[in-house]
């Protein structure tokens, strides 16, 4: 009976992929220019192949919505294949007045090869570890509570100090998002260059709160610890960090209890996160400028624009990747490790110790690479950086690293040696993939992961009981 059920599920999965394929075929834009038609066809083909690879994995290991391969595949596919398909269907071809789809065929092929590298490395020895019910180690929970609170307040006050001293706002402004009054203007000071390393401690805040949520007893304190973590990121305008934090906390409940949300719960969770991010998108410019959150800007048009900016505008960053593939190495040479290796090392050195720590590089800004005035705040996704540094081999190598990292955190969670502590590592690293894939910049993302996990590592070292 169980084998029949499994067979029926496989048939259903294949049918779903077939329906998606028919849907993509039905909307093929035959009336468009050849370049857009070809981009649509190949992006659709790669998307279908990824779905088939996931079906292969599901038939072998089963389905778990929190398994890394599904989350990474979702984000990766949305960014590099679904978003281009959507833009072609609605006729959104230009990017800051520049047409980049002529580089789309090569870019999508490289992206698919990168996904294959991730998939193959992830699948290797995936079931090496068996689930163990009992934890191998025991910890002093009282010490964990004390240490998590100590680290939390150190990180919190350090970040408030950083934001105020570097010109973000006053303490009251940071804590209230400007609802209790704005300031004349936020002027970012040059001294931010000397204390920017302090901002890295903000990456540790979510895990310190998770530690208290797991081992602390006072529910009101759990809530009070969580609010400033969100406020800090809203004030700084970092939407991705807020999404990651919310997803991490929602997922942690289900991972630690070994439960999974049903469809109704998933919709509720999605709506909560979407409302929060839309709210932030509405007010992020006024909060960052010093005016504070202004409810008067709420209307149908601003909400619709905010919804679009929350989802599609963040995914359209794939066009920056297209621009890099078009310019490198034909116009500008590869950076050969200066982007992903040298800068990762240098970024950890505070400018207060080495002010002129910049490395000579042949890197060009996005405005030069794609030949357009793209304004401030533009970045390129992970593949753009990997390709700019080492070409196709860089994409294959770094996506293989991501596959290896995702496989290891899954295996360690399955091994369950440290129980809740490994669960915290699991959900924290898993949802950090949202930032790593869509926003790129390895130097920051590498240290983001490190500081994210430092509180857990400190607890593992200092609170483990000795026998």
Q: By C-alpha distance, which of 306, 232, 231 is closest to 275?
A: 306
Give bridge partners of residue 98 from the DSSP assignment: 95
CA distance 151 to 204: 8
What range does the domain containing 230 cover?
144-317+365-379+427-462
Q: Return the sign of the alpha-carbon dihedral for residues 166, 169, 170, 172.
A: negative
CA distance 174 to 76: 33
**Domain assignment present for 393:** no
Q: Please report, for the chain, how many H helices and E strands are present, in that order.
A: 21, 2
The whole-number pLDDT of residue 345 equals 86
| H-helix or E-strand spanning residue 313 | helix 312-315
Q: What is the end-to-end Cα distance of the chain in Å, rounded?
A: 48
**Domain assignment present for 456:** yes
- CA distances (Å), origin 393, targets 284, 355, 435: 38, 33, 22
CA distance 420 to 35: 51
**Domain assignment present for 416:** no
**Biggest CA-to-CA distance, the chain:** 74
The whole-number pLDDT of residue 1 equals 40
Q: What is the DSSP string of 121-183?
A: HHHTTTT-S---SS-S--B-HHHHHHHHHHHHHHHHHHHHHHHHHTTS--HHHHHHTTTT---
Asked if the peptide bond before residue 445 counts as cis, ω within 30 degrees of 0, the response is: no
Cβ-Cβ contacts under 8 Å for 298 (sequence gap 6 or more):
282
**Domain assignment present for 165:** yes
**Domain assignment present for 160:** yes
Q: Give pLDDT tens digits along the chain (467 positions).
A: 444 566 777 788 888 888 999 999 989 988 778 899 999 999 999 999 999 999 999 988 888 888 999 999 999 999 999 999 999 998 888 887 788 899 999 999 999 999 999 999 999 887 765 444 445 567 888 889 999 999 999 998 888 888 777 665 566 666 655 555 555 455 544 444 566 677 788 889 999 999 999 998 888 998 888 888 877 776 766 667 778 888 888 888 888 888 888 878 888 887 877 777 766 666 555 555 545 455 555 555 655 566 666 667 778 889 999 999 998 898 888 989 888 888 888 887 776 677 666 555 556 667 677 766 665 556 789 999 999 999 999 999 999 999 999 998 888 876 666 678 888 999 999 999 998 998 878 888 899 999 999 999 999 888 877 54
**Domain assignment present for 253:** yes
Domain count, the chain: 1
Question: Please, are residues 93 and 319 in contact by the beta-carbon 8 Å criterion?
Answer: no
The whole-number pLDDT of residue 288 equals 52
Q: What is the pTM of this model?
A: 0.86
User: In this structure, what is the dihedral angle of CA atoms 282, 81, 44, 269, given to the nearest 10 degrees?
Assistant: -50
Tokens of 341: 């290796």
Tokens of 95: 């990017």
**Domain assignment present for 136:** no
The whole-number pLDDT of residue 265 equals 83
| H-helix or E-strand spanning residue 95 | strand 94-95
**Domain assignment present for 211:** yes
Question: Please, are residues 177 and 283 in contact by the beta-carbon 8 Å criterion?
Answer: yes
The whole-number pLDDT of residue 210 equals 93
């Amino acid at each position: 009976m169980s084998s029949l059920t499994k067979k029926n599920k496989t048939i259903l999965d294949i049918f779903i992929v077939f329906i998606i394929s028919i849907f993509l075929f039905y909307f093929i834009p035959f009336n468009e220019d050849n370049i857009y038609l070809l981009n649509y066809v190949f992006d659709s083909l790669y998307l279908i192949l990824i779905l088939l690879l996931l079906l292969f994995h599901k038939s072998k290991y089963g389905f778990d919505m929190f398994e890394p391969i599904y989350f990474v595949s979702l984000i990766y596919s949305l960014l590099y294949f679904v978003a281009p398909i959507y833009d072609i269907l609605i006729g959104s071809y230009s990017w800051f007045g520049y047409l980049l789809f002529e580089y789309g065929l090569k870019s999508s092929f490289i992206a698919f090869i990168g996904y294959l590298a991730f998939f193959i490395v992830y699948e290797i020895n995936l079931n090496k570890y068996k689930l163990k019910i009992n934890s191998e180690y025991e910890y002093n929970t009282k010490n964990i509570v004390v240490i998590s609170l100590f680290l939390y307040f150190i990180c919190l006050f350090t970040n408030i100090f950083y934001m105020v001293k570097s010109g973000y706002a006053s303490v009251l402004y940071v804590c209230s998002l400007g609802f209790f009054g704005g300031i004349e203007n936020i002027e970012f000071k040059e001294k931010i260059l000397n204390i920017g390393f302090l901002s890295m401690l903000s990456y540790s805040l979510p895990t310190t709160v998770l530690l208290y949520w797991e081992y602390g007893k006072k529910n009101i304190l759990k809530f009070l610890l969580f609010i400033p973590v969100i406020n800090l990121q809203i004030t700084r305008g970092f939407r991705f960090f807020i999404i990651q934090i919310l997803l991490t906390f929602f997922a942690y409940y289900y991972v630690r209890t070994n439960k999974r949300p049903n469809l109704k719960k998933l919709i509720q969770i999605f709506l909560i996160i979407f409302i929060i991010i839309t709210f932030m998108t509405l007010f992020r410019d006024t909060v960052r400028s010093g005016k504070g959150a202004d409810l008067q800007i709420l209307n149908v048009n601003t909400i619709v624009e905010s919804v679009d900016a929350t989802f599609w505008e963040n995914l359209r960053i794939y066009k920056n990747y297209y621009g890099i593939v078009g310019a490198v190495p034909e116009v500008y040479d590869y950076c050969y490790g200066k982007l992903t290796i040298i800068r990762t090392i240098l970024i950890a050195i505070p400018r207060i110790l080495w002010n002129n720590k910049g490395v000579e590089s042949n890197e060009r800004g996005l405005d030069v690479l794609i030949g357009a005035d793209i304004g401030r705040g533009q970045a390129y996704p992970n593949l753009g950086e990997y390709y700019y540094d080492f070409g196709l081999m860089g994409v294959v190598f770094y996506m293989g690293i991501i596959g290896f990292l995702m496989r290891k955190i899954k295996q360690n969670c399955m091994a369950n040696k440290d129980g809740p502590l490994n669960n915290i590592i699991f959900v924290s690293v898993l949802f950090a993939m949202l930032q790593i894939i869509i926003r790129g910049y390895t130097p920051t993302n590498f240290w983001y992961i490190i500081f994210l996990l430092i509180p857990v590592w400190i607890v593992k070292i200092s609170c483990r009981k000795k026998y």
